[in-house]
Structure 1
Amino acid sequence: GNDQTISYKTGGTYTMKASFDYVPEMAKSELYLDFKIKKGKKEYTIPSVKIADGVIATSELPTVNSANAAYAPDAFQRIIKQAKEAQIMFLIQQANLRASELKSDSLKAFHKQVVTVAGDTKNYKLNNIEISAYASPDGGVELNTTLAENRQNNTEKYMNQQLKKGKIETEVDAKYTAQDWDGFQELVSKSNIQDKDLILRVLSMYSDPEQRETEIKNISSVYKTLADEILPQLRRARLTANYDVIGRSDEEINAAFDTDAKVLSNDELLYAATLTNDNARKEAIYKKTVELYPNDFRAYNNLGMMAYANGDLATAENYFKQAASKNANAAEVNTNLGLIELTKGNVANAETYLSKSTGANTANEALGNLYIKQGQYDRAVQAFGDTKTNSAALAQILAKDYNKAKSTLSAVKNPDAYTNYLMAVVGARTNNADLVKSSMDKVKQQDAALAAKAQNDREFAKYANEVK
């Protein structure tokens, strides 16, 4: 036939590949090769050859069950930077403040906000007022420098008078720009005027202000439009009040939750959950958030995260699916649904979810668990990084980095039976009988069923006394 031929005299080697789906019973098993030889019409039987005792299935340990599910964070900020702006417009080649400008709705709203901020020191902090005065880029540098400086001085004087009148103390920072070419370029680029691309090209070709002005004036077809529509908008002084909006303190947020949670925003509620280590209170806060803000996926996700940490995978999955119904694209939700699929052994489904996990705080850890299931152990180690979990240690064991695995297991925050079981595996693989025994003694105290499993685990074939 066409199969490989082995020389009768010199012999040779033959490689046969086969794979079988793992079942737990294989842990205590024997693997034999049976042979059937045919020569012509005759058949010959060769005695079966035993080639292995049991199957080492350490990679199948369910360490993903103790993985860290992704947390959906709040966006609460106690201090929020805000700014209120207004503009005072000037006529061409003038720097005086016109009464019509000082009575504008924009300036009235500006002063009203400054008064409000300065008068409510509990909820606001007025940082400063900035004045930026400008001249349009027509008319020459010397003229515009004087003009812009005068506009700055007049506006600053006016602002100081208003602050004094209102008994408001704050810094006034003033500056001027003699020729506002940046503002000119921005307005032209946003306009629909004829030949605007030609004007913008002139700005990119020439840096000298006088050359720019000359070249633009030479475009006679549009200069009148510029003079009527663009340049007047650049003759201005911009006033900016910079202030902080001060939110509730931690104490106020906690008190509000206890008395009337409805006054809190969804982000304040989610933040409140971070202020306690009491899981019962944390859960109550998330449930109240779901009640008050049912369309926010984050509270559902975080309730699922808590259930996952408690080993209640069914409840966790239910919450994660509710979160997905609110935001199916959220990285945290996809990370957590990926973990759920891994606990079920559905690797393909997990991979689909985890392809959308970028940005979640435990995305790399979840990917590490995926890579373990795919047999990509070195890649798993890289994904876990410095994570101190059972799964991270499992990846290191499978990649044969036993020192690192031992260090990781020693640093697991809440070691469980699988933490100690893996430590026993490290002991067995490094010929440390004492470590095997001390670790298995802990497993027996934590999980009798897992300890019994060790009796048939080929990892401990040489350590029957230490694991019994």
Structure 2
Amino acid sequence: MKKTAPGITVSSSPEFLTLKGDNAIGTITVNFPAKAFHKWGVLKVTPVLVYPGGEVVGQPTFLQGEKVKDNYKVIPYEAGGSYSQQLSFPYTPAMRLSELVLRVEAKCIKQGSKIKNFTDYNTEIPVTFGVSSLQMMADNYAKVAIAPDAFVRTTYVKESAKIMFQINKADVRAAQLNSSEISALQQFIKDNTGDAKKKVGDVYTQAYASPDGPLTLNDKLSADRGKTTKKAMETKFKKDGTPKDVFDVNAMGEDWEGFQELVQASDIPDKALILQVLSMYKDPQVRDKEIKNMTAAFKVLADKILPELRRSKMTVNVQVDGLTDAELKAAVGSDINKLTVEEMLFAATLFTDNATKAKCYKAAADKYNDFRAWNNLGVVKAWEGDYAAAKADFTKAASLNNSNPQVINNLGVVALSEGKKSEAAKFFAASTAPEAKYNKGLVDLAEGNYSSAINSLDGYNKALAQLLNGDVAAAKAAFGSMNTWRAEYVKAVIAAKEGDAKALVANLKSAIAKNPAAKQLAETEVNFLPYATVTEVVEIVIIKVKR
């Protein structure tokens, strides 16, 4: 059998071992020629991946001749035979320069044979060279997520005051004009007048009647109350020097909605019954009648609810314009601590340099201890590649808000940077941030789940996942518009697989020009091995993978 060993042929599918997930995988098929396998022989065939500085021994396969009464794969003597074996070796980058070999040991169980124990053939059967590790060409820059600010440039503040009326009357009593509410409204107008960033609106007046009288009377009553309110307030404003003389008066009629709200908010024992009965009547006149009936039955309505509805309500809105972008940027440079937390977070977005962004987020974190500030400060550090410092900030953010999707995603990014793929995947699965979906795709790509990765990734990484998943046409179409060094390098590999030496050379030259590190990578690229002696390729790079 040792003499016939040279007749054994071995093929690999694919041609080279391929990195998938964390393992270099492939399938080998071993063929034994006719009359090569001894009828009483037993072989132990062990696949071994040998690489600079080490080797990995795979699972052995045991074979037996047709007269051996054991449970191994039988290889007939006359016809010969074959077997296939799937291989998987824990990957290390040094394996790009590896050689896959088979080590054979044999024994004979025929009575009287001297070879009772496995004896090494002392020869290795070569299978294939190198490992195709295109998966490692992924751009593993995970996406960190900024927690958004709630900055609003223009805001509104308002103040309201009421004038109360007696039943069926529209005259404004002096006590109502001199109430604390009216004084507060006047002071509000004065305080917000004269500021270029504040615009005081009209005095918007709504006059009401309580819904316990005839509809026509209530309509007239609310109109009269609006007129008397306008006249009285104009006189008072002029006398007190209040800088506002525009009144927008609206007669609202009877206040059915206000009645319902007050009843609902009251502690009247039968309020549910009251509201249910009133809701049955859609005709305002019938409803007014029922209210009067209830007033007689439920004195509390007349004493506490209806009087509150006989009113004019005045509201003044003030439009407040916030700081302009230029003013915000100036404040960052002169006195950042005068800004609100929202202004600080928004101001960071106005700068392109990471140092000033970090300054804004650090100020917000120190002054307001806002989780968004800590998170975004960590994002800037992650952009700078300092994931250890970023982790501390993300952890602080999580201590303040452990359910925020941006924070959860960013903790996953840190875990991924530490090589903790399963932990990172849990964070990404728990986050609804758009970045988390993409980052989950990175984990799938790194674990060899290419079809899942395609659904999550975009751009270059999606195209790479398509290629690794066997969809060469889709990958080529996507790579066609890309000109990064990684894309050019992968296009050179595709050209090599398709036998296009010209495209291989052109793309590889472009990749090396954009990133000299691509040349060192190409020296150990097993996919370029068939072109190792092509002059145009040799002029670019010397392939170190041996045949």
| TM-score of the aligned structures, taking structure 2 as reference length | 0.70
- Once structures 1 and 2 are overlaid, which stretch shifts more, 88-97 or 16-25? 16-25
1:132 to 206, 222, 226: 206
Structure 1: any 5+ residue segments left out of the alignment? none
Residue 478 of structure 2, aligned match among 394, 402, 405: 405
Cα pair distance change 1:337/1:146, threshold 3 Å: same
Partner residue in 2 for 1:321:
395
CA distance in 1, matches of 2:164, 2:129: 90
Among candidates 515, 525, 534, match of residue 457 of structure 1: 525
Residues 71 and 305, structure 1, Cα contact 8 Å, conserved in 2: yes
Q: Which residue of 2 aligns with 1:57?
A: 133
**In structure 2, what is the Cα distance between the partners aligned to 1:406 and 1:352?**
31
State the alpha-carbon separation in 1 of the partners of residues 177 and 110 from structure 2.
114
Aligned-partner residue type, residue 464 of structure 2? L
**Matching residue's letter, 1:24:** P
Q: What CA distance in whole angstroms lies between the structure 2 residues aligned with 1:283 and 1:152?
A: 55
Whole-angstrom CA distance in 1 between matches of 2:72 and 2:152 = 72
Could you say what secondary structure the match of 1:254 adopts?
helix
CA contact (8 A) 2:75 2:81 kept: yes
Map of 2:424 onto structure 1? 350
Equivalent positions of 1:33-432 (< 5 A) are 54-61=130-137, 63-64=139-140, 66-120=141-195, 122-162=196-236, 166=241, 168=243, 172-215=247-290, 223-293=298-368, 295-358=369-432, 360=433, 362-384=435-457, 388=459, 390-398=460-468, 400=471, 401-403=474-476, 405-406=478-479, 409-410=482-483, 415=484, 417-418=485-486, 420-425=488-493
Change (3 A) 1:366 1:155: farther
In structure 2, runs of 5+ residues without a counterpart are 1-68, 542-547
Q: How far apart in 2 are the matches of 1:448 and 1:143?
A: 90
Q: CA 1:409 to 1:92, structure 2 compared with 1: closer, same or farther past 3 Å? A: farther
Judge which range, 280-289 or 80-89, deviates more: 280-289
Deviations 1:296-355 (A, max 9, x none): 233333332223223333333333334334433332222112112223332221122223
Aligned position for 2:44: none
Q: 1:216, 1:223 within 8 Å by CA — same for their partners in 2?
A: no
Distance 1:157 1:460 in 2: 93
In terms of fraction of residues, the more strand-rich structure is 2
Q: Deviations over 1:70-111 (max 9, x none)?
A: 123333323212222222222222222222222221221111
**Structure 2 Cα separation of the partners of residues 374 and 207 of structure 1:** 67
Q: Which is higher, the Rg of structure 1 or of structure 2?
A: 2
What do residues 136-188 of structure 1 show as CA deviations (whole Å, max 9, x unaligned)? 22112111111112222222333444555547457533323222222222222
1:297 aligned partner, one-letter code: F
In structure 2, what is the Cα distance between the partners aligned to 1:50 and 1:255? 71
Considering Cα pairs closer than 8 Å and 6+ residues apart, tell me whether 1 or 2 has the greater RCO: 1
Whole-Å separation in 1 of the counterparts to 2:499 and 2:248 = 73
Distance 1:106 1:266 in 2: 32
Residue 54 of structure 1 and its aligned partner are, at CA, apart by 4.2
Could you say what the CA RMSD is over the residues aligned between the two structures, in angstroms? 4.1
| Cα distance in 1 between the residues matched to 2:97 and 2:325 | 57
The answer to whether structure 1 residue 27 and structure 2 residue 96 are counterparts is yes
**How far did 1:229 drift?**
2.1
The 3 A distance-change label for structure 1 pair 131 and 204 is same
Question: Secondary structure of 2:212's partner?
Answer: coil
Instruction: Sort the Cα spacing of 1:250 and 1:6 in 2 relative to 1 into closer, same or farther, 3 A.
Output: same
Aligned to 1:80, the other structure's residue is in SS state strand
> How far 1:51 moved relative to its partner?
7.0
Give percent identity, aligned residues only.
36
**TM-score (normalised: structure 1):** 0.80
**Aligned-partner SS, 1:328:** coil
